[in-house]
A and B are shown apart, each in its own frame.
Chain A
Amino acid sequence: MPNFDLAAVLTDEFRGWLLDGFLLSIELTAITWLIALPLATFIALCRLSSVRVARGLGFALVEGFRNIPLLVQLLFWYFAVPELLPEALRSWLYEHDAEIVCAVAGLTFYTAAFMAEDIRSGIRAVPVTQLEAARALGFSFLASMRRIVLPQAVRIIVPPLISQTLNLWKNTSIATVIGTAELMYQAQRVETASFRGVETFTVVTLAYLAVSLLITALSVWFQRRFPVRAS
């Protein structure tokens, strides 16, 4: 390989850019995760509910957000949705980092749809007798879910959820198309300024891998520490 010069892409200036991008990617992941998880739980419960409208809504949300590429959803959130908002809200949005807000919105709904399916499978894996027993004892549907079923479902749900978190971390890279200055965006910037594609992408790949491997290790630890009890 003709002179691989890592130092060329790690000058103070470039390092600063890449670090900013890395931190923003982490922030996007964290904020999205915190909003997507409750949303996903809500959607999962909708799909399991006995109310037909709720089931329909849940199904529509899941299928809608899962079958459209994230790139398209992000473009829609950034270029189409603000045009539908009232003038005041739109101006407020543009004053306050629309790129980040729209990235979080797009990532949240996309990730929530996948998480909802994992949560639903996890809940369904808990024997239905648990729910029946809870109802027989007088708990409402929601209370049975909250106190009896969900705690048992958690062990089953966590590994796939960690997997979705990994996907979320990687998906933040797509936000570069709507101008969000996360790690991939900064990588493109450094590459243009330094003319050194291989070195730039080596550094950035290692950055993504570092966090990915951390998340995977977390999953392995969890499955070892909290194995699923046979029922």
Chain B
Amino acid sequence: MIDIIDTYWLYFLVGQYPDGPLGGLVLTLLLGFTAVVLALPLGVLLGLARVSVRRWLRWPVTALVYVVRGTPLLMVVFWAYFFLPSVTGHKTNQFTTMLAALVFFNGAYLAEIVRAGIQGIAKGQMECARSLGLNYTQAMRYIILPQAARNMLPSLVNQFVTTIKETSLGYIIGLAELSFVASQINTQLLTRPVAVFGTLALAYFILCLGLSRIAYYLEVRRSRVAT
């Protein structure tokens, strides 16, 4: 396994870059990070819609969230692949397709995390804010959401870990992320599948375990600090 890492570490790390599109571990991280960052505002919007008193907002969004959560991510990826160009009028490459699918899918999941976060803030906070003269939007923006954000941080880091794992589905549409690169190496070497896929598994393991430990640490710190 060491000799494989030794020979192919650059390919594992960045794919064909700079002689081709970016790939490998760097692409995986970039895709995961960008997806979570973009999914967050979408998740907040959908989460707010889920707790809204306005039925015309709550019901369609609830239906949408149920549909997205009942569909495999791979299906969402294929939809993005076939649907996106006709909807946006732009030609999309594999990275953009995967990104759109991840943002949309994780947005729906984040909506639930946001909803739980908002509903976890004592109702008294909203009542206080309203009685002080703030309207609903201001109360949300200045009082509720900032507190909810602190609560949500460990869940968000966990969502980042999940998203990193989800980027592996880019393999199926030919995106040169870490799993695809490993597979290419395996077909080159042919006789070392255990070592190649073992290295791949180890890479994800270290990455995801590290991140989820950070989430755990944040969770512990939060419950110690919480009043």
Contacts and interface: CB of A to CB of B under 8 A. Distances in A.
Give yes or no for direct A-B contact (beta carbon below 8 Å).
Answer: yes
Interface of A: 1, 63-64, 66-73, 75-76, 79-80, 83-84, 166, 170-174, 176-177, 184, 187, 197-198, 201, 204-205, 208-209, 212-213, 216
Contacts of B200: 72, 75-76
A208 B79 CA distance: 14
A173 B72 contact: yes
A69 B165 contact: yes
Contacts of B172: 176-177
Contacts of B204: 67-69, 72
Interface residues of B, number: 39
Given A67-B208, A67-B212, A68-B201, A83 B193 contact: yes
B57 interface: no
Nearest to B76: A205
A126 B93 CA distance: 51
Contact of A208 (B75, B171, B183): B75
A18 to B, nearest CB: 14
Contacts of B70: 166, 170, 208-209, 212-213, 216
Interface string B54-93: 0000000000001101111111001101110010000000
A71 B66 contact: no
Nearest to A25: B72
Residue in B78, B166, B204 whose Cβ sees the most chain A Cβ within 10 Å: B78
B73 A170 contact: yes
Interface of B: 66-67, 69-75, 78-79, 81-83, 86, 161, 164-166, 168-169, 171-172, 179, 183, 186, 193-194, 196-198, 200-201, 204-205, 207-209, 212
Nearest to B73: A170
23 contacts: A67-B204, A67-B209, A68-B205, A69-B166, A70-B165, A71-B168, A71-B171, A71-B179, A72-B200, A72-B204, A75-B183, A79-B186, A80-B197, A84-B194, A166-B69, A174-B74, A174-B169, A184-B75, A197-B82, A201-B79, A209-B70, A212-B69, A216-B66
Which secondary structure dominates where chain B touches chain A? helix
A208 B82 CA distance: 18
A105 B117 CA distance: 36
A72 B201 contact: yes
B201 to A, nearest CB: 5
B106 to A, nearest CB: 14
A71 B175 CA distance: 14
B113 to A, nearest CB: 14
B71 A79 contact: no
A73 B198 CA distance: 10
